[in-house]
Amino acid sequence: MRKIVILLISLAIAAQIGCARNTKNDVYREPALADLPFVYKMPVQQGNIVSKDMLDQLRLGMTKDQVRYVLGTPMLMDMFHTDRWDYTYTLQRGRGPMEEKPLTLFFEDDALVRIQGFVPPDRHEGIPGETEHEVVVKVPDWEEKKGLFGRALDAAGGGKD
């Protein structure tokens, strides 16, 4: 009986110690296994994706409604600075650094007056001085390769050939 009481008391103490939390540093920390190289971390995209084609449609003097139609609703609209719209795009690939691509539009009297920030490169424009090269890829003809079971069936006369 005495051993059971000691065991229950020690389990209760261990449970309270194990459940205790350090309230001084109540910051989110990743699990210890997340640092291992074979643990996959998914890429995370957030914000507005703004392409070069979308930016090419913007013209100074456009109204806010026209800009919203072309680019969509901005990620950040400050109620104290209604003449500034922020389109922010972030991409976190695995354990790499976070890529941030901000785009800010400024309005005066409901008209677009200035565009500031990241402008994506046009995928149809090449690097200056670089010529296009034709790439030819040869693909060998398909040939059937039978596995161990298929070869055993052929040897036994049960194959379809």
Q: For 35-87, what is each residue's pLDDT tens digit? A: 777 778 888 888 888 888 888 898 899 999 999 999 998 887 788 888 999 98
Q: Does residue 109 belong to any structural domain of this protein? A: yes
> Where residue 144 falls among pLDDT bands split at 50, 70, 90?
confident
Answer whether residue 21 shows pLDDT above 70.
no
HEC letters along the chain: CHHHHHHHHHHHHHHHHHHCCCCCCCCCCCCHHHHCCCCCCCCEEEECCCCHHHHHCCCCCCCHHHHHHHHCCCCEECCCCCCEEEEEEEEECCCCCEEEEEEEEEEECCEEEEEEECCCCCCCCCCCCCCCCCCCCCCCCCCCCCCHHHHHHHHHCCCCC
Q: Does residue 20 belong to any structural domain of this protein? A: no
CATH number at residue 63: 3.30.1450
Regarding pTM above 0.85, the answer is: no
**Other Cβ atoms closer than 10 A to 112:** 20
Per the structure, the complete domain to which residue 105 belongs is given by 42-124
Residue with the larger pLDDT of the pair 139 and 105: 105
Q: State the Rg of the chain over Cα.
A: 31
Q: Does residue 15 belong to any structural domain of this protein? A: no
pLDDT of residue 125: 53
Q: For 75-108, what is each residue's pLDDT tens digit? A: 877 888 889 999 888 888 888 888 898 999 999 9
Q: Does residue 86 belong to any structural domain of this protein? A: yes
The number of distinct structural domains making up the chain is 1
Q: Does residue 58 belong to any structural domain of this protein? A: yes
Say how far apart CA 108 and CA 63 lie, in whole Å: 10
Bridging pattern class, strands 111-117 and 44-47: unpaired
Task: Write down the mean pLDDT value for the chain.
Answer: 80
Mean pLDDT over 118-123 rounds to: 65
CA separation (Å) from 125 to 45, 117, 122, 129? 25, 20, 5, 11
Q: Does residue 92 belong to any structural domain of this protein? A: yes
Say how far apart CA 121 and CA 155 lie, in whole Å: 60
The most confident of the ranges 32-46, 53-67, 124-138, 147-161 is 53-67
Q: Does residue 136 belong to any structural domain of this protein? A: no
Q: Does residue 152 belong to any structural domain of this protein? A: no
